C-alpha cells in the first residue's frame, strides 16, 4: 500500500460519520499514527487504548483471558469498544468498536506462529479475521506495518468506506474471516441480555453538531404532548443541546419490556421525528454512567426519591456517595414541578444537600406546568 493510497483511505474514513473506539494489544501501533496524522481524526477516533501489559489487558476485560492473542480476545475487546463508543459518541452517529491482538516478531524468537486477530463491531455486524504471517519474512516493524494496514482496511470496511487497495500480504497469507450480521430484533435481544448497553433510534432531523444530550427518561406509555413540550423547554433552559428521549427496557419494579412492546413505543417517536434511546438501566446513577455530561429532565416526584435516604437503605452517606458519582459524570438534573402525593411541588420544596445543589436546576412553573400523565391518559382511554 503506497503512502498516498493509505492517506486517501484515512481521509475517506474521517469523512464518514462513523465514530470509533479502538483497543489494541501486541501490534498495529502504526495504524494509530496514520489515523491521528491526517486532519479530521477527531471526527472518527473517540478513544484509543493500547493494552500492552498483562495487567492492563486483565483490567480492560475484567478477567484473565484464556489467550491474549486470540480471535476470542479480539472479539471481546471489540464489544467493549463498541459499548464505550456508544457512551462517547455524538447522538445518532454510527459507532464502531475495534479490537486487535497480535503475536508478532519479538526480541526472543517465538516458537509459535506470528499472527494477528482483528475484530470490528457495529450496530448490525460482528466481523473477525485472523492472519497468520510467514515466519521470518519480515522484521517486527514490517509485521507491525502490515498488521496496521490490515486494521485500517478493517476500519474502512466497517465504516462503509469504499476502497480497492489490498494490504501487503503474500499469496499464502490468506485471512481466516468470520462475519455475523444482526437484525433489529437480535440487537434488542442483546440489549435485554446486557450484551450491549443501549440502542439509538435517531429519528430527529436535527443535524446540529452538539454533543450534550438533553434526556427525558420514561416509559412513554403513551408519549404525549407534555413530554415533547417539557424537552423543548429544557433544551432552551440549557442554551441548546441534542434533545432526546430514553426508554428503559428494564424496570426496577416490573418485568422487562418485551420486544413488541419496545417496537410499539419506539414507533411513537418515529411519528413525531424525535430521537429515542432504548437502554437497559432503570436507575439514574447508572444512566449517568451511560450518558456522561447529559442533562436529565425529571419531575419533582423523581427528586423526592433521588434525595430520600430510604431509597438507599436509610443510609444518608450512601445516598450522597451515589449522587456525587452522578455529579462527577458531568450530569445535571432539570426539575419540573409535579404532583407528589396529591400536592404540587417544585425543586425549592426539597432539601437538597449542599454538595449537590448545583446539580439540580429548576424549570420555572411559568415556563412549564402540565399535570397530565401517561397513567391518566391510559385511564381515559380505558387501558387501565
The per-residue pLDDT for range 25-82, each reduced to its tens digit, is 999 999 999 999 999 999 999 999 999 899 999 999 999 999 999 999 999 999 999 9
CB-based burial label for 254 (10 Å; 0-12, 13-18, 19+): exposed
Question: How far apart are alpha carbons 91 and 89 in whole angstroms?
Answer: 6
Specify whether the CB–CB gap between 152 and 10 falls below 8 A.
yes
What CATH number did the domain enclosing 315 receive?
3.40.50.620
Mean pLDDT computed over 259-284: 96
**Per-residue pLDDT for 342 more than 90?**
no
Domain final residue pick, 181, 212, 233: 181
Which of 181, 211, 234 is the C-terminal boundary of a domain?
Answer: 181
Are residues 45 and 61 part of one domain? yes
pTM metric for this prediction: 0.91
pLDDT tens-place string over residues 181-193 = 999 999 999 999 9
Task: Provide the pLDDT for residue 357.
Answer: 95
Q: How many C-beta neighbours within 10 Å does residue 326 have?
A: 22
- Do residue 177 and residue 192 come from a single domain? no
User: 136 and 37: one domain?
Assistant: yes
- Mean pLDDT computed over 333-356: 92
Residue 271 has pLDDT above 90, yes or no: yes
Residue 381: what pLDDT? Answer: 52
Q: Answer yes or no: do 26 and 125 share one domain.
A: yes
pLDDT at 232 over 80: yes
Assess whether 264 and 361 both reside in one domain: yes
Please check whether residues 175 and 192 belong to one and the same domain: no
Residues 152 and 219 in one domain: no
Q: What is the pLDDT of residue 358?
A: 96
Whether 147 and 285 map to the same domain: the answer is no
Four-residue CA torsion sign, 106, 109, 112, 113: positive
**Confidence band (pLDDT; 50, 70, 90) for 372?**
low
- The single-letter DSSP state of residue 78 is H
Same domain for 254 and 157: no
209 and 316 inside one domain: yes
In this structure, are 168 and 261 located in the same domain?
Answer: no
The pLDDT of residue 378 is 44
CA distance 25 to 69: 8
Q: Domains in the chain: how many in total?
A: 2
Strands (E), the chain: 19-25, 45-50, 95-103, 114-122, 125-133, 176-181, 198-201, 213-218, 242-248, 276-279, 295-299, 332-336, 338-340, 343-345, 360-362
What is the mean pLDDT of the segment spanning 286-293? 94
Instruction: Write down which residue in 124, 154, 181 finishes a domain.
Output: 181
159 shares its domain with 193: no
Tell me the CATH number at 127: 3.90.950.20
Does 373 score more than 80 pLDDT? no
Give residue 377's pLDDT. Answer: 47
Domain range for 363 is 186-380
Amino acid at each position: 500500500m503506497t503512502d498516498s493510497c493509505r492517506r486517501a483511505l484515512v481521509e475517506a474514513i474521517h469523512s464518514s460519520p462513523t465514530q470509533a473506539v479502538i483497543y489494541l494489544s501486541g501490534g498495529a501501533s502504526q495504524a494509530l499514527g496514520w489515523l491521528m496524522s491526517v486532519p479530521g481524526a477527531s471526527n472518527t477516533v473517540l478513544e484509543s487504548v493500547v493494552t500492552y501489559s498483562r495487567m492492563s489487558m486483565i483490567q480492560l476485560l475484567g478477567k484473565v483471558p484464556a489467550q491474549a492473542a486470540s480471535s476470542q480476545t479480539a472479539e471481546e475487546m471489540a464489544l467493549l469498544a463498541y459499548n464505550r463508543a456508544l457512551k462517547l459518541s455524538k447522538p445518532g452517529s454510527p459507532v464502531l468498536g475495534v479490537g486487535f491482538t497480535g503475536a508478532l516478531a519479538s526480541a526472543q524468537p517465538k516458537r509459535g506462529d506470528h499472527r494477528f486477530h482483528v475484530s470490528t463491531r457495529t450496530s448490525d455486524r460482528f466481523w473477525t479475521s485472523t492472519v497468520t504471517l510467514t515466519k521470518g519474512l519480515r522484521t517486527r516493524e514490517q509485521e507491525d506495518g502490515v498488521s496496521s494496514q490490515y486494521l485500517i482496511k478493517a476500519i474502512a470496511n466497517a465504516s462503509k468506506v469504499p476502497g480497492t487497495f489490498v494490504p501487503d500480504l503474500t499469496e499464502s497469507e490468506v485471512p481466516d474471516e468470520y462475519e455475523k450480521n444482526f437484525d433489529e430484533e437480535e440487537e434488542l435481544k442483546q440489549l435485554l441480555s446486557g450484551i450491549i448497553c443501549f440502542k439509538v433510534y435517531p429519528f430527529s432531523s436535527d443535524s446540529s453538531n452538539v454533543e450534550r444530550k438533553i434526556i427525558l427518561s420514561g416509559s412513554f406509555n403513551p408519549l404525549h404532548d407534555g413530554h415533547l413540550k417539557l424537552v423543548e423547554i429544557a433544551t432552551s433552559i440549557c442554551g441548546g443541546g441534542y434533545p432526546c428521549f430514553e426508554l428503559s427496557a428494564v424496570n426496577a419494579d416490573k418485568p422487562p419490556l418485551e420486544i413488541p412492546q419496545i417496537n410499539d413505543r419506539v414507533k411513537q417517536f418515529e411519528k413525531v421525528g424525535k430521537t429515542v434511546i432504548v437502554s437497559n438501566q432503570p436507575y439514574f446513577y447508572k444512566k449517568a454512567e451511560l450518558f456522561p455530561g447529559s442533562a436529565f429532565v425529571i419531575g419533582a416526584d423523581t427528586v423526592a426519591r433521588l434525595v430520600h435516604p430510604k431509597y438507599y437503605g436509610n443510609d444518608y452517606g450512601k445516598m450522597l456517595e451515589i449522587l456525587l458519582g452522578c455529579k462527577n459524570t458531568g450530569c445535571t438534573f432539570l426539575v419540573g414541578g409535579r404532583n407528589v402525593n396529591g400536592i404540587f411541588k417544585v425543586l425549592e420544596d426539597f432539601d437538597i444537600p449542599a454538595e449537590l445543589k448545583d446539580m439540580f436546576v429548576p424549570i420555572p412553573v411559568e415556563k412549564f406546568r402540565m399535570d397530565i400523565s401517561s397513567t391518566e391518559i391510559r385511564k381515559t382511554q380505558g387501558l387501565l
